[in-house]
Amino acid sequence: MQPQPAYLLHRRPYRETSALVDMLTLDHGLVRAVARGVQRPRGRARGILQPFMPLQVTWSGRRELKTLNMIEASGSPTLLAGEGVICALYAHEIMVRCLPRELPVERVFVHYGGLLPALTRPAERAAALRRFEITLLTELDAEPVFLTETEQPLDPHCHYVYLSHARRFRAVAEGQKGCEGRTLNLLAHGDWEAAGLAGVAKWLTRAALSPLLGETPLRSRMLMQQLYTQRQQSKAAAD
CATH (domain of 62): 2.40.50.140
* Distance of alpha carbon 229 from alpha carbon 194, whole angstroms: 28
DSSP string computed for 147-215: BBTTSPBPPTTSEEEEETTTTEEEEE-TTS--EEHHHHHHHHTT-TTSTT-HHHHHHHHHHHHHHHH-S
Rounded Cα–Cα distance for residues 135 and 94 (Å)? 12
As averages over each run of 10 residues, the pLDDT of the chain (239 residues) reads 96 92 98 91 80 97 94 95 96 98 97 98 94 96 97 97 96 91 93 82 96 94 91 80
pLDDT at residue 230 in the model: 87
Is 35 part of a structural domain of the chain?
A: yes
Neighbour tally for 8: CB within 10 Å:
21
**How many whole angstroms separate alpha carbon 90 and alpha carbon 115?**
12
79: Cβ–Cβ under 8 A, 6 or more apart, which residues? 52, 120
Q: Considering the domain boundaries, does residue 115 fall inside one?
A: no
Report the pLDDT value the prediction gives residue 43, as an integer from 0 to 100.
Answer: 67
Report the alpha-carbon distance of residue 219 to residue 85 in Å, rounded.
Answer: 13
Q: What is the pLDDT of residue 182?
A: 94
Q: Is residue 20 part of a domain?
A: yes
Q: How many domains does the chain have?
A: 1
50 to 16, 174, 183: CA distances (angstroms): 19, 52, 40
DSSP codes of every residue in 116-151: HHHTTSGGGHHHHHHHHHHHHHHHTT-SPPSBBTTS
> What pLDDT is stored for residue 105 in this prediction?
98
Domain encompassing residue 57: 4-73
Within-domain flag for 184: no
Q: Which DSSP category does 101 fall into?
A: B
CA distance linking residue 34 with residue 11, whole number of Å: 10
Instruction: Assess if residue 65 is contained within a domain.
Output: yes
CB-based contacts of 9, cutoff 8 Å, min separation 6:
21, 22, 23, 24, 30, 51, 92, 95, 96
φ and ψ at residue 238, rounded to 5 degrees: -70, -35
Rounded CA-CA distance 5/57 in Å is 7
Q: Report yes or no on 95 lying in a domain.
A: no
155 in Cβ contact with 171 (< 8 Å): yes
- Nearest C-alpha neighbor of 65 from the set 4, 14, 2: 14
Q: What is the pTM of this model?
A: 0.92
pLDDT at 234: 82
Q: Does some domain include residue 55? A: yes
103, part of any domain: no
